[in-house]
Amino acid sequence: MDDHLPETLRAVEDELTALLRRGRALSWEVAREVHPNLEPNTYGLLLWLRRSGSIRLTDLAARLGIGKGTLSRQIAGLEGLGLVRRDPDPSDRRAAQLSLTEEGSRRFDAARAARFEQIRRTLRNWPERDVENFARLLHRFNETF
């Protein structure tokens, strides 16, 4: 196995590069579906906000591994588009809770449904066990990367 490891790692790198290239293209496409002026890198923010319902900016920054200043600027842009709102945190009036607006949820859900359909079409001929293993291995990779 050790003799083949470099070639195997090259194959993994090639496939990751292709996946990331397609992922970037898909992010642009999905972001534009949410809102024509949405930056593609903010789709992940919307995903976290949709999952959490409401979250403090500092907690979201920690989850995403980005600085509070950077996140605050991105959130301000999303607020300007009417997709995100800031509400006072009931447990700490100095902090804010972030959440999607009704319009943000509607637009995000529509774009996500289209994305799910694309993934469903791509994997429709895969055996269910392969899809489960693929999801498990991607999760494992992301957790350890």
Q: Where are the domains of the chain?
A: 5-144
pLDDT of 115 reads 86
Whole-number percent of the chain with pLDDT over 90: 48
pLDDT of 3 reads 59
Q: Using CA atoms, how far apart are residues 46 and 119, in angstroms rounded to an integer?
A: 19
- Return the number of other C-beta atoms located less than 10 Å from residue 116's C-beta: 10
pLDDT of 6 reads 87
Work out the widest C-alpha separation in the chain, in whole angstroms: 60
Residue showing tokens 């470099």: 6
Convert the pLDDT of each residue in 2-16 to its tens digit.
556 688 899 999 999
Looking at this protein, which amino acid is placed at residue 126? W
* 3-state SS, residue 96: strand
pLDDT of 2 reads 56
pLDDT of 137 reads 95
pLDDT of 4 reads 63
The CA-to-CA distance between both ends of the chain, in Å, stands at 22
Return the CATH class of domain 5-144: mainly alpha
- Return the number of other C-beta atoms located less than 10 Å from residue 104's C-beta: 22
Which residues, given as ranges, of the chain have pLDDT below 70?
1-5
